[in-house]
Amino acid sequence: MVNSEILKNLNKAQKEAVMWVDGPLLIVAGAGSGKTKVLTTRIANIIKQKKAFPNQILAVTFTNKAAKEMQIRVSKILGSAATGLSWLGTFHSICAKLLRKHASAANLNSNFTIVDSDDQIRLIKNICKAENIDIKQLAPRYVLAIIDRWKNKGFYPNEVIINQKDIYEKTILPVYKIYQQKLIELNCCDFGDLILHTVKILERNKDIRDIYSKNFKYILVDEYQDTNFIQSKWLNLLSEKNNNICCVGDDDQSIYSWRGAEIKNFLEFDKVYNGTKIIRLEENYRSSQNILSVASSLIANNENRVGKTLKATLDEGDLVKLNCFKNGKDEAIGISDEIEEIKKNISYNNIAILVRAIFQTREFEERFLKIGIPYRILGGTKFYERAEIKDCVAYLRLIYQSKDDLAFERIINNPKRGIGPQTINFIKNYSRDKNRSLFNSIRDLVQTDEFRPGVKLTLINFIKNYDVWENDLTKISHVDLAMKILEESGYIQNLKVEKTIEAEARLENLKELVNAMSVFDNMLGFLEHIALVNDSDAEHKDGQISLMTLHAAKGLEFLAVFLPCWEEGSFPSQRSIDDKGKEGLEEERRLAYVGITRAKKYLCISCASSRQIYGNWQNVIPSRFIEELPEEEIIGVDLNVINNTSNHFDDYEFNQDYENNKKFKSIMNSGDTNIQIYNENILNPDNTSNLKIGEKVFHIKFGTGLIIDIDNDKVEVNFDKAGIKKVIGSYLKNKF
């Protein structure tokens, strides 16, 4: 019999989810609907009803923090410490426990070591060296990313089927074979192995599988929408006997496909587990109804979802604000002014600015530093403290002042040039003895035979580059010089080769640094600015505003939330759409949904008409997500005005570069794309057949230009200002 005390603070749907204990259960838990409360109460109820002993319950989370919170909450409900829950933890911690018990089945000893990322990189580098693979062309981090992807798919090296479209997989697979063999020889596992080995053991050893699938009478999984293939497979194997598996999550908050999460695990749960009961938690205890209505209206545009309708338990609240600013600087000013206004009723700690990409915090940081608003970067580092920014600034400092030894130390082997600690110590000792700067010391030393030939040549080349850059100080702009240094030093190329999400983010930050530099007249002005902005981390009695990415914001809540930079190409991310098409677009929309549902009382969405790209101003188009907002829930800018600017998003084309300047493209292009979209009603849709090569035409976005090529409805035009673009012919006007 269910203990009524356990159920007293639950709503109807929550009670049903707690009491339904037999058979597979999918709990579709909307944002702020109390899913953790349901999970913990469900565990307590199973124990109270003596359906199972605590050690017969498998409860899986994604983080140690979530596991600890669950343990505390269950203990509180039971009125005593839930010490018997020995199988409550993360996927990795539970799999590590299982694997140590059955290590021999994976050709390991039970005392195996779990290697960290540094150990992995070192091992991959050694393998690549032995196999004559150039790590400057195939970065170790990228190799590991591919290997991890294979492991998430459940593949040992001999099970991998190479993607013929991927030119690197053919090279990486032999590395994976050697890497995996080395791990076994060293009695080691990486994090991917913890789950992969465990799944293979369960698959290949029915006796072991039977032990655990019989013992785990109940399985509960949090954040099921974030599971990958191998995690889902593991759960399937362990639930084989009792079939009492309860998965909780929100398909509308599935935003981690880039790290292997597969939303289909959630969407197809009832197909994998016959007789599945689906319960929706739709009562929201976080946000006002207006905010929820905006979120629901937006996410309804996704086709791949289970579906639910969020209902607020709070007041209707204020309408959601929508602002469109002239440029990014005005957006930062406008939002800071708005913050100062709402600060009368809301502390800084309860205010957040959520951006699609971390480089977008820069404008706001600059503004906050200028007017004295305290802030913090959650899940990241302040813009001017990011490693790649400090690296670039160090190069600029050294060029400006050759005696800057601190700058020299930072960049002499960054990117890697084979200049090790021994060489640097030798240079330092010489510098100290001769009272010379480190840079001038290497000028002296390369005239001798103190260094090995390879090191000597590297230092000579560095000096040659330096002399060219120093000479350029008075000949080209400080912005152009920064771009030139980043390219010729190999710094940009090093990041491009890495091919990781982290490297892409660093590239974006460097592009934003160029934008920051462009507002200063010269190098000295910029360097002085940098020196001053880094003096700011005092304690603030009123708290600090939180700046973070939308991904980092998942699971958090704030009284007031600002969602800036809602423009096509940025949000939705063009890269995501290009990589994954419709699936990518839907994930971007889910990310927007996550952002909206972080707000409790106050929400403001904004876009700009122009942005700085590589230091140059360019017009941008409001995000298609703005058009999907419900007009009746919005205040501020007239939606019709914005929608007439952004137009409808039925037909679109992809333009591979933001900037037509070849110099910037060659130096900084990392695969960014910008989407250009137009209203089919603006110009004559039957116009294409009337167009001729050499004819002068007008385009609503790019202005006037001459047609240079026609391919069916795709027309290539050399625009007077925008350069060569490929556009849809129906969007061209040939009558003046």
Q: Which residues are catalytic?
A: 35-36, 222-223, 253, 598
Q: Where are the beta strands (DSSP E) in 252-319?
A: 277-281, 283-284, 311-312
What are all long-range contacts of 637-644, with beta carbons under 8 Å and residues at least 24 apart?
637/322, 637/323, 637/324, 639/322, 641/324, 642/322, 642/324, 642/607, 644/679
Coil, strand, or helix at residue 541? coil
Q: What are phi and psi of 506, to 5 degrees?
A: -65, -40
Coil, strand, or helix at residue 452? coil
Q: What are phi and psi of 540, to 5 degrees?
A: -125, 120
DSSP 8-state assignment for residue 23 = S
Are the C-beta atoms of 575 and 269 separated by less than 8 Å? no
DSSP assignment string, 301-367: T-SSS-----EESS---PPEEEEEEEEHHHHHHHHHHHHHHHTTTS-GGGEEEEESSGGGGHHHHHH
Q: What are phi and psi of 245, to 5 degrees?
A: -115, 130
Q: Where are the beta strands (DSSP E) in 365-507?
A: 375-377
In angstroms, rounded to a whole number, what is the distance separating the alpha carbons of residues 376 and 393?
22
Query: Which positions ≥6 away from 300 have C-beta within 8 Å?
Result: none
Task: Give, rounded to a whole angstrom, the gap between the first and last alpha carbons of the chain.
Answer: 82
Whose CA is closest to 403, among 442, 364, 449? 442
Integer CA distances (angstroms), 418 to 23, 388, 457, 458, 488, in order: 60, 19, 11, 8, 17
